[in-house]
């Protein structure tokens, strides 16, 4: 087991990161019992203890740098609503598209996005969904979505913090999943109530605004926690179907996927910054091993 996952264990900064990585590779508590461990966390602790750490440079074993401060993040979350309302008060022809672009940029912009790559396809689909909704329901709907950005930011940050705290104190993957699923459903319900309030304030129809807001919010959560983009893209594409129930069906389907994906420990592990060799590989630069004197 140590030889098979030597790269993961060598770069991990704590046993928790190894546990999340093992789960992402399909290692379950049942597999851990074959190695005489009660669960994946116990197996990860032994792998972490047995992994030599004197060879890798210290700079390659540091944790990811801290993100922006919570106050700065909230300020960015409040910005779309303010700008969208300013554009709407001026009543230009481009007010609706501007509100749609601002909303998608703020609601969907991920911090992790499954390995750090920019999910351009998901963003384009989300922009198409918001633009199509603005075309069908008018500027009031995009204003409602822009107002929902701030509660979406707060709800997503609270969910991530609580899940991360529970993961640190969990001793079995099943126990962690059983605690995170209700937390996710409560988070979605709280945001749905906030989205309904934003729709009422903007004068947008609730039946159109709330499902679209939920769809974009779940897209944000899934991209932020590194989930696969296939189901996200499929749900966004479904919302483009010119049927009134399409957005509701897309949001419901994405919620089912989110319950499954976000209850995994690997979805809440802190992303590891790429090493020097990985950066050189991504940029096409030669590594030290391949360089000539």
Amino acid 207: pLDDT: 93
Tell me the CA distances in angstroms from 49 to 6, 19, 135, 145, one per residue in order: 12, 13, 58, 48
pTM: 0.71
Amino acid 45: pLDDT: 67
CA 136, chain centre distance (Å): 28
| Cβ neighbourhood burial of 91 (10 Å; 0-12, 13-18, 19+) | exposed
Amino acid 130: pLDDT: 83
Amino acid 290: pLDDT: 43
What are the structure tokens assigned to 140, written together?
């009031």
Sequence ranges of the domains in the chain: 6-63, 70-268
Amino acid 247: pLDDT: 93
Closest CA to 278 of 162, 114, 115, 83: 115
Amino acid 255: pLDDT: 96
What is the pLDDT tens value at each position of the chain, 293 positions in all? 666 776 777 777 667 777 878 888 888 777 777 777 777 777 776 676 566 654 444 334 334 334 455 666 676 677 766 776 666 666 556 666 666 666 666 666 655 544 444 467 777 888 888 888 888 888 788 888 888 888 988 899 899 889 888 876 666 667 778 889 999 999 999 999 999 999 999 889 999 999 999 999 999 898 888 777 889 989 999 999 988 899 999 999 999 999 998 987 767 765 554 455 545 554 555 544 444 33
Dump pLDDT digits (tens) for 53-106. 544 443 343 343 344 556 666 766 777 667 766 666 665 566 666 666 666 666
Amino acid 234: pLDDT: 93
Dump pLDDT digits (tens) for 194-217. 999 999 998 899 999 999 999 999
């Amino acid at each position: 087991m140590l030889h098979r996952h030597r790269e993961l264990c060598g770069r991990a900064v704590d046993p928790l990161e190894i546990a999340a990585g093992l789960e992402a590779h399909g290692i379950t508590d049942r597999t851990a019992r074959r190695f005489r461990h009660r669960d994946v966390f116990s197996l990860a602790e032994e792998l972490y203890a047995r992994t030599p750490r004197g060879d890798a440079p210290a700079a390659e074993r540091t944790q990811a740098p801290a993100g922006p401060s919570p106050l700065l993040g909230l300020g960015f979350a409040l910005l779309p609503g303010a700008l969208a309302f300013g554009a709407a008060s001026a009543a230009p022809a481009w007010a609706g598209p501007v509100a749609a672009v601002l909303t998608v940029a703020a609601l969907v912009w991920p911090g992790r996005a499954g390995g750090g790559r920019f999910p351009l396809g998901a963003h384009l689909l989300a922009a198409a969904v918001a633009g199509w909704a603005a075309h069908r329901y008018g500027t009031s709907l995009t204003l409602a979505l822009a107002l929902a950005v701030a509660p979406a930011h707060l709800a997503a940050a609270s969910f991530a913090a609580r899940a991360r705290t529970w993961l640190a104190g969990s001793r079995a993957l099943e126990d962690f999943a059983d605690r995170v699923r209700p937390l996710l459903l409560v988070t979605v319900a709280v945001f749905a109530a906030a989205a309904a309030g934003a729709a009422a304030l903007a004068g947008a129809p609730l039946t159109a605004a709330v499902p679209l807001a939920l769809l974009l919010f779940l897209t944000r959560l899934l991209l932020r926690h590194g989930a696969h983009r296939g189901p996200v893209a499929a749900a966004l594409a479904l919302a483009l179907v010119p049927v009134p129930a399409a957005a509701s069906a897309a949001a419901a389907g994405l919620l089912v996927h989110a319950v499954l994906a976000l209850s995994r420990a690997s979805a809440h592990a802190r992303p590891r910054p790429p090493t020097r060799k990985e950066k050189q590989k991504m940029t096409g630069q030669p590594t030290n091993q391949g360089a000539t004197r």
